[in-house]
Structure 1
Amino acid sequence: MRFERTGDLGDIAAAIEHQQKSVGLTPEGHPDMPSRLNNIGSSFMRRFIQTGELDDITVALEYHQKSVELTPEGDLRMPIRLNNLGSALLNCFRRTGNIADLSAAIEHHKKSLELTPEGHPDMPKWLNNLGNSFLSYFQQTGDISDLSAAIEHHQKSVGLTSEGHPNMPMQLNNLGYSFSRRFDRTGDFDDISAAIKYQQKSVELTPKDYPGIPMMLSNLGNSLLARFEITGDLDDISVAIKHHQKALGLTPEGHPEMPMQLNNLGNSFSKRFDQTGDLADISAAIEHHQKSVRLTPEGHPDKPSRFNNLGNSLTSRFKATGDLTDISAAIEHHQKMSVELTPKGHPDMPSRFKNLANSFTRRFMQTADLTDIAAAIDHHKNAVRLAPEGHADMSVYRHGLGELFMIRFKQTNNVGDCQAAALSYRRAATQNMGRPTIRLHAARGWALCCNNLGDYQASLDAYATALELVPLVASLDQTIQKRHISLLSISNLTREAIARALLIGSNEVALEWFEQGRCLIWTQLNQLRTPVDILREHDAQLAKRFLAVSKALESSGSRQESSWCANSTITEQIAVEDRVRSHFILAQEWERLLLAIRALPPFSDFLRPPKAASILSQLPTNGPVVLINVEKRRCDALALVHGADDPIHIHLNNFTSEKAELLRRQLGYHLTNEKLRMRNSEDRGGRLARRPDAGLYHILRELWHGVVWPILQGLGYSSPPAHRNRIWWCLTGPLAFLPIHGAGIYDSNTEVPGPCISDFVVSSYIPTVTTLLEKLKLDATLKHQETKVLLLSQPNALPHAPIPGTIEETRTILRKLREGSVEVVSLEDKEGTKSRVAKEMETNGWIHIASHASQHPSESLKSGFYLDDGQLELLEIIRQRLPSAEFAYLSACQTSVGDEKLSEEAAHLAAGMLAAGYQGVVATLWSIKDQYAPKIAEDFYEFLLGEKRKSGALRLDSRRAAFALDDATRKIRERLGDSESALLTWVPYIHLGL
């Protein structure tokens, strides 16, 4: 008993010595003989667990077998002796891999349970042990029913164990381990979440000096590592490494678990290297794997897996360094030491063939030796052949095989390889189980293969599959922040798909994909805020629950991402995990409720992506909507016109993705230089001279010739109309960062100005067509409400960079609005706190913000407005539910810039205001000039107040905001002319929404 607490081998040796003397002095047939044999067997087994000596478990097994043989039928001590015999057999199997021992262990554990009366205090222990045996059997055979039995027995064991019982930590650990193994098999994210939850609790409840704590820490580390492989969350892998390092530090030299601890830590370092590329990580991984292999006894059943992991780490280092000795060693470890030593039928055999194939592939990439890629394909085929149907990694194996066929196709141009790749990709993509990210990449590969083969209809099927998987990759069980990260690697997928649909004339499909694949985060947010009035008439309880779960899920998804630091306690980790798990459960319930709603006959299309016919039937009457797709192979526009049955396709022959990207870079360069020039000029105290270079002239001219004029011609505009209509632009790729609304021929040196877009139409921007259609529906309810304006002035929110014209701007607007009988709430400086602003936004339908703003370069959700007590971030804005929201004027810099890596998501402050409920927004593409901003704002409101006076209306009409901005920019052009400097004054202003 003292040995169990301290791990002192001297104690267990003394115990065995006394027990051996006791057995030697006990006569044959004595009634205490079975008990003494059982005790000495238990001592040998405990020492085996500490030392791993095969002789100890062999002797233990002999004593336990003899103890059971000598125990009479009906003896109340029979269950405990059967249990101990089962445990000895299980430990013997773990050392030798003899499946017969494992089968016998299960039988003895089962019989022990059968003989134990209900309510017996040892029942939880026996259930736990039987669960362990079933789990080991699953690990040997891969039979999912054995794993289900293991989880069932572990759950019963935990359920019957009282709080505070010393066995509870180990039983929680075993239950968590069972869930982690089922996650490996099925890929169900709920399983890995449950595993982490139970294992964290196990560690929290275990005394720090308990000998079993290293194993518990190691199991928790492995579960975090498994989740990291799905999510790529570096917090998970960092904490996993911390737990593995601690487990290794607590394991004494010579302990039989030492090789396992080294192996697990090596795996974590290797996986982190794959994510970060830090060579120190892969060097540490190889060092730990090599030591693990060296310390694992010959014949040990875990020896092949440890060689396999060493081979993986060597392959990873080869990818970074190109050292052929690494890849040759990796192939040897995978082939001779892992695959050949793994018993036939072992459930890990498919993954080992896959890893061997990966090593051959890596060498082929270096040497171009076709025998290597042929070997890789053969081994990957074995992985696919041996993996059971329904296995979570089947999509990984099939996707990997498709990749190999494509690699060889690119080398040999053999059409058969491309066809084989397409088949593998298709099977991976359409498999119901598996990681959504892998399946999506497979669908994309399938589409590219079909393009190569000229099978364009199949290509559309592949892209349709890929787009259906996008919401699963960035699913509602993640925070908005994580969903943005998930979308980074597939940001141009939708543009690829649209280009292919337009190439073959599927205009309606292209339109539907425009809506389905873009601005996913905003679409999800709108879905969570969907009114359910009609549903309530059919099923009031379902509608009520759907609303409640939607609200809770939106709140959870828009929270700041929780993270663990390297020194966070297990209690702090549990708190973070509880929030993650609660969010996951909400998302699951929301999906179940959505299926229940769609099962009702009138709601089969509830929250499904809109069809083209539905979109075309709801368009505004006062101007077209133009969607522009910028893709590396082609650029196209789809014009949607009220009353037309089909979208109008306009191929932009003279514009390319490369040109759009070049113009975007030129604009950035020009703006940077202009800022420096202005600063230098001001420092010298001189007037700003008009520069002769044509930076912005050139950009706006290129946009006119390449994009805008071909579209206007396609719409039938041959000359400026007498009455200008609206036009709504929906842009993709690098074009989303360019001022389409300012396109035209400007040159201050010519007497007659050239044509420009504002001669023909009044421009607005929208994130998606659906956004505009939703605003149109809501407009009818808002146009009767009284105009109430929140005027926010924050000139000194950043003390080092005050805004000179802000006070003038806001006081002029305040005076004008009050003269026009418009109710205004004005907040200046200290009054403009985040909480006060948020409160006033709830009751004031209009807001005018004059403040500093910034677009965060890498995390768009951290973009925001600077207020007196901090930054009002985009994430906080989109949390708002503002039923009275109507219009926002953002007199600040960079409020509609967005994230270059997520151009399809419109992740900027102006779009955030639309998402919060505002019908329309005036925003800026880049920094605005403080000396002219007040006048532009004054002219904007003067236009709206003038129309209010003419019509005799009681309110400002936000539907005329685009015309008001157009009027304000025309007046500034009249004052300043069309010099480069003048263009920089008004071109950054844009209108979004209705």
Structure 2
Amino acid sequence: MGWLHFHRTQSLPPDQAEANHELAIRLFAWCFIKGTRDTGEIPQPLLAPLAGAVLPFAASTLERARETMDPAGQQLAETLYRRILVCLPEADPERALCLSHLSIVLLLKYGLTLAASDADEAVETARTAVQAAAPHPPLLAASLNNLGLVLHTRFNHMGVLADLDEAVDALRDAVEAAADDVPGRASSLIQLSRALKVRYENTRALTDADEAVRTARTALRIAPDHPNLSSHLTTLGSCLAMRYERTGILADLDEAVETGRAALQCVPKGWPHVAPDLSTLAATLLMRFEHTTVRADLDEAVELSRAAVRSLPAYYPAADHALYLSVLARILLVRAEHTPAADDLDEAVAALGAALDSTRGDHLHGTVYRAHLGGALLQRAEFSNSARDRERALAELRQVAEHATAPPSIRVTTARLVAQLTAASDPAGSAALLEKAVMTLPEVVPRRLGRGDRQHALGTLAAGLAVDAAALALADTSVTAPDRAVRALRLVEGGRAVLLSQALDTRDDLTSLRKRHPDLAAQFVGLREALDRDAEPLPSTGGDPAGGGGDGAERHRLAEELSLVLEHIRACDGFAGFGLPPHLDELLAEAAHGPVVTFAVSSHRSDALLLTPDGVSSCPLPQLTLEAVLHQAESFYRALEDATAPDRDRVAAQRTLRRVLEWLWEAAAEPVLTALEAVGHALPPAHNEDELPRVWWAPGGLLGLLPLHAAGFHTDTTTGTSPGARRRTVMDRFISSYTPTVRMLHHARRPRPAAAGDVRSLIVAVPDAPGLPPLQHVAEEARRVRALLPRPINLTAPEPHDEGPRPAPGGDVPTTAAVLARLPECAIVHFACHGATDHTDPSRSRLFLHDHDTTPLTVSALASVDLDHARLAYLSACSTATPGGPDLLEEAIHLTSALRVAGFPHVVGTLWSVDDQMAAEIAESFYRHLFTGAPAGPADPGPGPDRAAVALHHAVRAVRDRYPATPSLWAAHLHSGR
């Protein structure tokens, strides 16, 4: 009958033809639904055109289903599209459109069922649609856009990052494919912006945040009158607010508020989908309140968020209701912090409870809502002193901390919170929670992120985590004392210097791999170097940098390729452990060269973990509290400033420095030495100083700011006069070295390829860096050192009185490029120049070479180098071993550690600014001891770079003996390495 009606339209007047045509389409739709196609009446060649004629009806059915979330409409649309596909031949271009629409139908179905099979079918159907659309450019952009939307939605529910990566790639392709379709291009740009925003929220890659803002701006610029203008404005506002959270640039936040208000003004009257616009502006106003504390913003945010929840149509998916309820709860909890009110707290708890109840299945956001509910219950418990709320909160938070698929950052945060609340009552359970949190840290900072992004992620989560975990492990009396100590050391090793450890994972000795699998070795090195090329992670300026975000996408691809190459290498015979952390037995073996002392200074307790040939033991340090270390470090560095200021009391400053060193002896060094003696490490008498033993310090955190090697009573002349007496200083009883972790020490001692030919040295001297005060004694230091180093290459800037940029004889001007080019051929490098620590971004701490203003030699640049034949680096510059940034102290990110990662097993660095005249004297003395001294004892390997710790010890102690009351002159220099 449908065929007859269709046939009649060919000879009827236009008005009647249209009515008959519509009736024919509906009848054909009914035929498709029932599975009968009037095959006896409809010629086969006309079957596909008629099926195509039903497509508009199917599309309108889909649109109604999307607007009303009606299950019956969704089912009708699904049936229509499936029947139409049966009728369309493979080559028909309308198959692509039909498949793409069917993927959206299946996505709607998944929203109703939350069945993973529906989501999977939606994704596969969308991928098939893209393949079908490839020969038909007009259809390709829409198919790619829908594929991106489907993948993005599946990620939101299941949290598989590969889906989000594929969505971003598909949407970028959709933007390119829609070059001639301005509205379509704008829609794809907005979808891309949203996907990038979500990816930033999950990975914290700043490039994604910048690109999200940029793409949203582009969409608004090319389609200022787009039908979905309010939605586009809201997307830009949310991206700007997100970027503000990362960068703190207030201009982004103000623009986000203005954009959000503009979006609401564009919403059509009676529009049922206004909730996103209301809720986004509410969240943005909350951010501005937290910056300005203007109460009007907070109150408006509450009302807007309540309006968003009220505006949601009942047919919206439960997951959408949960999202807007959670935003409302967050705003209410902030208001309750500033003006405690039972009503706000009750409403917030109820909203989060409803959000959690609405999140069925294993939805990605379920654990986030549960974590927020736990926090809200805790806040209410503190307000009302409710034990019931507190217990319920702990139960909710424990579930999140132990949930394997919860976002890693949420797991770490909740584990720390529960452990903090239960440490006194349940140290064993708290220790177990923090142990899981420590082991989760590598998931927080995958290699796909740039260095700056990984620093940011760690700084907000990991500060103090490892030492808190170690402290609670040591308090867990359900475990034997030796096992407690081993566990504590393992936790500190796992949670300290995480970024350095990641770098070491790709710095295994490649000699054997190159011999047996040269192609794999070449692939591995190429990928590692490409990822390490993240030299200068500059922060966002709030502008919109040019480019398409390719750098971030390229990092993702490279990281995936590197993972695959590592899998192939580890599958090769004899390479199963390639690029993996050393086993505990391998770490324990490092004590054969001398004890390693790892400090864990926590708010719970403080201990030294002593690694000796007999195993691991702990030494409680009750005086070394976190508060005491903070106070002493602040006093020490204030005194250092006063010691060189012309208008300050320099004598009093030196007295303060000595008092801190004396406190450091009593609180840390002396108890450790006593404990080492107790486990069989007797110390030699003072008169036999050439047989001083070695010790390696791994201080970490705030303690890493203080010179443990210089702890003691250096002006005390009452000891050391009798043959058996020992002075109360570390320097008179030990030869000190430093290492961020035992693992890094293990790396420094790994077998290294033999140097080809004679050892060469590189001298980099910059007495007058552009824009900085001249260093009057650097040129003299370079001349002294040149006479002592083997086969020196000179990179020496012209002295101030020279004309033009003429290098010293036999050398070049010391630029970053020149240094990096020379390093691979030199086993020893000596820098004499200005240095500085960047406390905001320690990876940008730098040495000031001739081109420091354009191409600085930073931690990032040095850490990306891999030098097989490196032996010794001497940094005669200021603050080259100072860990920067209070949240990243445990990471030990500084120039000294960067050179360790680059391959130097011995590095001499400084903890603070040094006098360049004294620095030249210490450097000359160091090299004289290094190359002319005879072995001093069993721990002394004799002349050469491996004698660096001994040589520095003698050079520094000689200055100390002359100026014992002036520690600022000699205590800054330290040795790091094997």
What is the TM-score when the length of structure 1 is the normalising length?
A: 0.84
Relative to 1, partners in 2 of residues 1:876 and 1:296: Cα closer, same or farther, differing over 3 Å? closer
Encode CA deviations 1:913-972: one digit per residue, 9 max, x unaligned: 111111111111112212222221221121123235999x99943232111111112222
| Equivalent of 1:664 in 616, 624, 633 | 633
Encode CA deviations 1:728-784: one digit per residue, 9 max, x unaligned: 1101221101111111223499999963221111111111112222333437x6699
Relative to 1, partners in 2 of residues 1:207 and 1:805: Cα closer, same or farther, differing over 3 Å? same
Aligned to 2:733: 760
Relative to 1, partners in 2 of residues 1:299 and 1:446: Cα closer, same or farther, differing over 3 Å? same
Aligned to 1:986: 970
Tell me, in whole angstroms, the C-alpha distance in 2 between the residues paired with 1:135 and 1:334: 24
Question: Structure 1 stretch 769-778 or stretch 237-246: which is displaced more?
Answer: 237-246
Aligned to 1:109: 81
8 A contact 2:204–2:457 mirrored in 1: no
- Does 2:959 correspond to 1:972? yes
SS of the aligned residue for 2:91 comes to coil
Aligned to 1:172: 144
| Equivalent of 2:817 in 828, 832, 835 | 835
8 A contact 2:880–2:895 mirrored in 1: yes
Aligned to 1:484: 455
Tell me, in whole angstroms, the C-alpha distance in 1 between the residues paired with 2:936 and 2:676: 32
- Does 2:801 correspond to 1:823? no
8 A contact 2:748–2:900 mirrored in 1: no
Encode CA deviations 1:168-214: one digit per residue, 9 max, x unaligned: 22222222222221221222222222222222232234346633333
TM-superposed CA distance for 1:484, in Å, is 1.4
Aligned to 2:802: none
- Does 2:841 correspond to 1:859? yes
- Does 2:466 correspond to 1:494? yes
Aligned to 2:56: 84
Q: In the alignment, residue 743 of structure 1 is paired with which amino acid?
A: A
SS of the aligned residue for 1:728 comes to strand
Aligned to 2:714: 746
Tell me, in whole angstroms, the C-alpha distance in 1 between the residues paired with 2:101 and 2:914: 71
8 A contact 2:859–2:895 mirrored in 1: yes
8 A contact 1:940–1:965 mirrored in 2: yes
Q: In the alignment, residue 838 of structure 2 is paired with which amino acid?
A: H
| Equivalent of 1:706 in 642, 652, 667 | 667
Gaps spanning 5+ residues in structure 2: where? 32-37, 722-726, 798-806
TM-superposed CA distance for 1:80, in Å, is 0.9
Q: In the alignment, residue 852 of structure 1 is paired with which amino acid?
A: H
Aligned to 1:776: 749
Tell me, in whole angstroms, the C-alpha distance in 1 between the residues paired with 2:208 and 2:17: 43
Aligned to 2:35: none
- Does 2:585 correspond to 1:585? no
8 A contact 2:497–2:891 mirrored in 1: yes
Question: Structure 1 stretch 263-272 or stretch 387-396: which is displaced more?
Answer: 263-272
TM-superposed CA distance for 1:791, in Å, is 2.5
Encode CA deviations 1:442-500: one digit per residue, 9 max, x unaligned: 22223224325x12211121011101110011111112222112111122111211111
SS of the aligned residue for 2:619 comes to strand
TM-superposed CA distance for 1:585, in Å, is 2.6
Aligned to 2:382: 410
Question: Structure 1 stretch 834-843 or stretch 854-863: which is displaced more?
Answer: 834-843
Question: Structure 1 stretch 483-492 or stretch 352-361: which is displaced more?
Answer: 352-361
Aligned to 2:167: 195
TM-superposed CA distance for 1:856, in Å, is 2.2
Question: Structure 1 stretch 942-951 or stretch 203-212: which is displaced more?
Answer: 942-951
Tell me, in whole angstroms, the C-alpha distance in 1 between the residues paired with 2:449 and 2:25: 51
Within a 5 Å distance, the mapping from 1:392-541 to structure 2 comes to 392-451=364-423, 454-489=425-460, 490-504=462-476, 505=481, 506-531=484-509
- Does 2:911 correspond to 1:939? no
Encode CA deviations 1:405-448: one digit per residue, 9 max, x unaligned: 32233334544434333332232123232321112112222322
| Equivalent of 1:228 in 194, 197, 200 | 200
- Does 2:676 correspond to 1:676? no
Encode CA deviations 1:122-142: one digit per residue, 9 max, x unaligned: 322222222232233334544
TM-superposed CA distance for 1:568, in Å, is 5.9
What is the TM-score when the length of structure 2 is the normalising length?
A: 0.85
Give the RMSD, CA atoms, in angstroms: 3.8
Q: In the alignment, residue 809 of structure 1 is paired with which amino acid?
A: E
8 A contact 1:289–1:306 mirrored in 2: yes
Aligned to 1:873: 858
SS of the aligned residue for 1:212 comes to helix
Tell me, in whole angstroms, the C-alpha distance in 2 between the residues paired with 1:199 and 1:286: 27
Tell me, in whole angstroms, the C-alpha distance in 1 between the residues paired with 2:265 and 2:492: 56
TM-superposed CA distance for 1:34, in Å, is 11
| Number of residue equivalences | 921
Tell me, in whole angstroms, the C-alpha distance in 2 between the residues paired with 1:208 and 1:562: 36
Gaps spanning 5+ residues in structure 1: where? 1-25, 42-58, 682-687
Identity %: 24
SS of the aligned residue for 1:433 comes to coil
Within a 5 Å distance, the mapping from 1:258-337 to structure 2 comes to 258-272=229-243, 274-275=245-246, 302-309=273-280, 311-313=282-284, 316=287, 320-323=293-296, 325-326=299-300, 328-330=302-304, 332-337=306-311
Relative to 1, partners in 2 of residues 1:346 and 1:689: Cα closer, same or farther, differing over 3 Å? closer
Relative to 1, partners in 2 of residues 1:306 and 1:60: Cα closer, same or farther, differing over 3 Å? farther
Within a 5 Å distance, the mapping from 1:15-164 to structure 2 comes to 30-32=8-10, 65=26, 73=42, 74=44, 75=46, 76-162=48-134
- Does 2:176 correspond to 1:204? yes
Aligned to 1:627: 598
SS of the aligned residue for 2:591 comes to coil
Q: In the alignment, residue 865 of structure 2 is paired with which amino acid?
A: Q
Tell me, in whole angstroms, the C-alpha distance in 2 between the residues paired with 1:785 and 1:328: 73
TM-superposed CA distance for 1:509, in Å, is 0.7
Question: Structure 1 stretch 758-767 or stretch 103-112: which is displaced more?
Answer: 103-112
Relative to 1, partners in 2 of residues 1:64 and 1:734: Cα closer, same or farther, differing over 3 Å? same
Aligned to 1:44: none
Tell me, in whole angstroms, the C-alpha distance in 2 between the residues paired with 1:691 and 1:237: 50
8 A contact 1:282–1:317 mirrored in 2: yes
Tell me, in whole angstroms, the C-alpha distance in 1 between the residues paired with 2:551 and 2:399: 37
Aligned to 2:617: 648
Tell me, in whole angstroms, the C-alpha distance in 2 between the residues paired with 1:206 and 1:612: 56
Aligned to 1:11: none
Tell me, in whole angstroms, the C-alpha distance in 2 between the residues paired with 1:431 and 1:34: 67
Aligned to 1:383: 355
| Equivalent of 1:925 in 911, 916, 931 | 911
SS of the aligned residue for 1:476 comes to coil
Relative to 1, partners in 2 of residues 1:698 and 1:412: Cα closer, same or farther, differing over 3 Å? same
Relative to 1, partners in 2 of residues 1:816 and 1:546: Cα closer, same or farther, differing over 3 Å? closer
Relative to 1, partners in 2 of residues 1:912 and 1:327: Cα closer, same or farther, differing over 3 Å? closer
SS of the aligned residue for 1:225 comes to helix
8 A contact 2:486–2:617 mirrored in 1: no
Relative to 1, partners in 2 of residues 1:765 and 1:372: Cα closer, same or farther, differing over 3 Å? same
Encode CA deviations 1:654-710: one digit per residue, 9 max, x unaligned: 222122112222222222223322xx79xxxxxx98668612122212212222122
TM-superposed CA distance for 1:626, in Å, is 0.9
Aligned to 1:890: 875
Tell me, in whole angstroms, the C-alpha distance in 2 between the residues paired with 1:733 and 1:407: 30
Tell me, in whole angstroms, the C-alpha distance in 2 between the residues paired with 1:483 and 1:430: 23
TM-superposed CA distance for 1:351, in Å, is 2.2
Tell me, in whole angstroms, the C-alpha distance in 2 between the residues paired with 1:34 and 1:450: 83
Relative to 1, partners in 2 of residues 1:212 and 1:751: Cα closer, same or farther, differing over 3 Å? closer
